[in-house]
A = this chain, B = another copy of it.
Amino acid sequence: MRRIAHATLPDFIVQQFQRGGDYHHRQLYRIVKDGILRAALPAGSRLPPTRELAQTLGIARNTIVQVYEQLALEGLLQAGVGRGTYVANLAPAFAEPPAPTPVQRRGTPLSRRGRAIVGGARASAVQWGAFAPGVPELRMFPGAVWSRLQARAWREVAAPQLSYATGAGHPLLRAAIAEHLQGTRGMACSAEQVLVTSGAQQALHLIAHLLADPGDAVWLEDPGYWGARSAFRMAGLQLQPVALDGEGLAPTPQQLQAPPRLMFTSPSHQYPSGVLMGHGRRRQLLDYAAAHRVWIVEDDYDSEFRFASRPLPALQGLDAHGRVIYLGTFSKTMFPALRLAYLVLPPDLIDSFARALSELFREGQTLQQITLAQFMRQGHYVSHIRRMRQVYGERRRVLIDEIARRLGGAVSVLGSDAGLHLVLGLPRGADDETIARQALTRGVLTRPLSLYSLRPDPAPGLVLGYGAVTEEEIRHSFGLLAEVIEPLRR
């Protein structure tokens, strides 16, 4: 290898380097790398020692060490043993890669299934602000407590906790969840029945793939949660919308003749309509499921936030035949970005689900699970829920007052006294998608009720989330929304 003295090299670098300018590490990295790739620093050139260059440039030596290490990792520099750092002989393949060629393709490159998934997608591109549904008040989350518990988990970490996990979740968290559910949801469950997942969607994928085959029918509440629809569609199930009445999921006599493989329901606070499933209907569906071997997926996504009445216990607690799969999430009580949810499964399903979770998704997030378990054990979870319940109850009241004050009887408010959102029912014939679009031009996010339906002629309405909206913001934003809706009164 040809050796070139480094005497002149610092000049090359010093001339381009601007101290106090853009991020030193990146600047230096670019200067040296460009020099190598343009052959201004030819193969075999010796780079200045890090200490010397640090003094010349007046920056931390560590920055220079890191830049050299990065470039060595890229194969552009080589360390001669005890003899400094040299520019490597570049393999031709390692010349700067070509700029990405814009690919010219006719039509969509997606598969039919891919087109259906993307075309039918309903997830909103906005997840913050008035009136994003399903978003809790994240400004009041006790982040300092969480961060402290998380730091503690890291201080006490055992190496295997950083590896792949291989079970249904961390035992501490499973126990904390079971205890919480026994108390608050009237559920008959042990920690061994709890399976921790990375979000509710992952849990739905497991259910759909392990308990149903392609072409099997699934009953979905209509209107209902779009995320479940997408998960079941991805699994190749046949989606059958089932209407709601005042008691909840109300299959027609004809539908009852052909039992599905799965039914998906949110009995404690139907999403999005807010209907509370009555006791009679609960018994009816449980008996039907037992007789026809139907799995009931009970989505209990926001049952913690019920403002006036005490919640009815979960369906799961009434199930004597192991037909109910209970789905809970920490997205509403903690924060959505945490990505932790859980299933409570009949005891004979837990091993298969745990095995499939490892196989299909691989699990981890162990330190977050430990942190959450401590957060629950130390009482922060219950305190936070209690505090937020008051906040949400008050916000709900303010929004309902605003609706009455500004729109009076032109609209109806659907849903029981619970949760993080309500539905503003619009007069038959109103076009909720157009209204939502108009509202968005004024900066107000609403979700048209028709998006939650598979039926050809869905009832129009607007789903309004108030969880993450202060009372002042509610008054302001609803004022703007009312101006869009007002013309409908006439």
Contacts and interface: CB of A to CB of B under 8 A. Distances in A.
A337 B160 CA distance: 9
A102 B164 contact: no
A141 interface: yes
B230 A214 contact: no
A29 B103 CA distance: 64
B336 A163 contact: yes
A322 B100 CA distance: 9
A407 interface: no
B123 A210 contact: no
Interface stretch (A264-272, A364-372, A423-431): A364-372
A39 interface: no
Contact of A151 (B99, B117, B147, B186): B147
Contacts of A352: 108, 110, 114, 118
A126 interface: yes
Contacts of A347: 100, 102-103
Given A62-B379, A94-B310, A336-B362, 15 more contacts: A97-B182, A110-B352, A111-B216, A111-B261, A117-B209, A117-B360, A118-B355, A127-B163, A128-B159, A135-B163, A143-B154, A147-B155, A230-B359, A230-B360, A336-B364
A109 interface: yes
Given A352-B114, A362-B123, A310 B166 contact: no
A349 interface: yes
A416 interface: no
A113 B209 contact: yes
B356 A121 contact: yes
Interface residues of A, number: 135
B165 A127 contact: yes
B365 A210 contact: no
Interface string A306-327: 0000111100010011100000
Interface in A114-155: 114, 117-118, 121-128, 132, 134-135, 138-139, 141, 143-144, 146-147, 150-151, 154-155
Q: Which of A73, A310, A320, A347 has the most CB of B within 10 A?
A: A73
A166 B123 contact: yes
Contacts of A103: 321-322, 346-348
Interface stretch (A4-12, A195-203, A439-447): A195-203
Nearest to A382: B70
Contact of A73 (B93, B186, B385): B385
A382 to B, nearest CB: 5
B360 A166 contact: no
Given A103-B348, A166-B127, A468-B159, A113 B213 contact: yes
A188 interface: yes
A111 B304 CA distance: 33
22 contacts: A66-B379, A66-B382, A69-B379, A69-B383, A74-B184, A93-B313, A97-B187, A100-B190, A100-B193, A109-B349, A114-B352, A128-B159, A138-B160, A147-B155, A164-B331, A164-B337, A165-B337, A198-B198, A199-B362, A201-B362, A205-B360, A338-B364
Contact of A337 (B98, B112, B162, B202): B162
B199 A94 contact: no
Contacts of A317: 97-98
A70 B365 contact: no
A335 interface: yes
A236 B214 contact: yes
Q: Which of A321, A336, A360, A382 has the most CB of B within 10 A?
A: A360
Contacts of A437: none
A288 interface: no
Contacts of A322: 101, 103, 105
A383 B355 CA distance: 36
A163 B337 contact: yes
Contacts of A200: 362
A156 B347 CA distance: 43
